[in-house]
Structure 1
């Protein structure tokens, strides 16, 4: 799934990473773009929360492993509060499955590998700033899927019985990385109908975005490791 990039306006971003070289690299790269303005930097989670509160950016690029407060706790703090429109894009290295899962569950809109290419970085920032989840079928779904099946079972907080058969079908297709247009084509329904189903299932399951929808699909057994649906 690709998502829709932000088309107008300047994206105000904060970069938080305890590695100065990595942080400076991201800041310099983003600074070359006319539609992106870096309004703050942070070297740990506590500072990231403070800078985000002071600057109210559109997006925070947030490293998971940072001193004083890790990226997951910082994401919860940054995203807390009614009317908060800031988005969080997690910076990580491949293999931190548990951290990625928990960050998405905390409300982050996706994650970006630290060795991503420049075009991938720009695409990720623009997609997440536009309000979309960055869910790569090749990376994100596999990471979430593997960890959901490996983690210690917990009491279910959601039930597939809350959804209609069609809503469950739409949720399963979201977990497979399909866009609204692709879901409409697959189910032979209109884009508007797809949006209606998504809005309803988001309300029923109390989901924030497509990232949390993918997690819910795995928890409810509507998706499984290997790319299939339940």
Structure 2
């Protein structure tokens, strides 16, 4: 059987990483906590750190235990504020979001990415897919479960508003960085341009894609195949 891309990437990560990944969860449901703890504890490459309920307890847990990955459910963080808070405070840690039905749209998931989520996986995923989301999220810094990629489209281009002017090479570069959740300052540093120049490019992207904001632009870009799934 042909090896999937995720399996190939995961194999590469295993060969190039020593030690175990430390994993924590932020959620108040005991049954979910028990299930995630069981999956993490059963994998020899992962170490269960613990769970917390709410932002204050999550910050304390991350500050005390320094996890490599923290899992958050979309239902417990509807505005992605906790996701953003944790990624800002602990920039060496990644957030893995367990996506429930209420957040299973291109725009909702784009907003999760823009607020710092680095790995997205369905909340009902089996243990293998959850472990893959954790490992590839940490090692690659950017992972979306195949089931969720389908939520980004496809749609007919005729149904997507477009000004008729194609994005420039630099605007596409900026769009790719936006999709990774990077701020204007971070994008400027990566591309070697000024912050105001980045903001100008962002405004051009929004206008050309007829998008309300950055998340809407990312969602439309996936639908138009300007970004790969």
Q: Same fold (TM over 0.5)?
A: yes
Superposition CA RMSD, Å: 4.1
Instruction: Name the residue aligned to 2:21.
Output: 11
SS at match of 1:223: helix
Distance 1:71 1:11 in 2: 27
Aligned counterpart in structure 1 of residue 97 of structure 2, from 82, 90, 97: 90
Judge which range, 133-142 or 120-129, deviates more. Answer: 133-142
Equivalent pairs counted in the alignment come to 180
Instruction: Name the residue aligned to 1:114.
Output: 123
Instruction: Name the residue aligned to 2:66.
Output: 56
List alignment gaps of at least 5 residues for structure 1: 147-158, 176-198, 207-214
The equivalences for 1:143-154 within 5 A come to: 143=152
Residue 45 to residue 140, structure 1, CA distance change in 2 (3 Å) = farther
Distance 1:56 1:224 in 2: 34
Q: Does 1:23 align with 2:6?
A: no
List alignment gaps of at least 5 residues for structure 2: 156-165, 180-189, 200-212
Aligned counterpart in structure 2 of residue 219 of structure 1, from 193, 217, 220: 217
Residue 28 to residue 109, structure 1, CA distance change in 2 (3 Å) = same
Distance 1:50 1:144 in 2: 39
SS at match of 1:29: helix
Cα offset, 1:222, TM superposition: 7.7
Cα offset, 1:103, TM superposition: 1.9
Instruction: Name the residue aligned to 1:78.
Output: 86
Is the helix fraction higher in 1 or 2?
2
C-alpha distance after superposition, 1:175-230 (max 9, x if no partner): 8xxxxxxxxxxxxxxxxxxxxxxx64999859xxxxxxxx96972798352x6349
Moved over 6 A (4+): 201-204, 215-218
C-alpha distance after superposition, 1:91-126 (max 9, x if no partner): 121341354332211111021111101110111111
Distance 1:11 1:104 in 2: 21
Distance 2:54 2:193 in 1: 32
Cα offset, 1:11, TM superposition: 0.1
Aligned counterpart in structure 2 of residue 101 of structure 1, from 95, 110, 114: 110
C-alpha distance after superposition, 1:114-150 (max 9, x if no partner): 110111011111101214311245523634999xxxx
Larger relative contact order, structure 1 or 2 (CA cutoff 8 Å, min sep 6): 1
**Do 2:99 and 2:123's aligned partners in 1 also have CA atoms closer than 8 Å?**
yes
**Do 1:135 and 1:141's aligned partners in 2 also have CA atoms closer than 8 Å?**
no
Distance 1:105 1:61 in 2: 16
Q: Does 1:127 align with 2:125?
A: no
Distance 1:202 1:108 in 2: 25
Distance 2:123 2:193 in 1: 30
**Do 1:45 and 1:70's aligned partners in 2 also have CA atoms closer than 8 Å?**
no
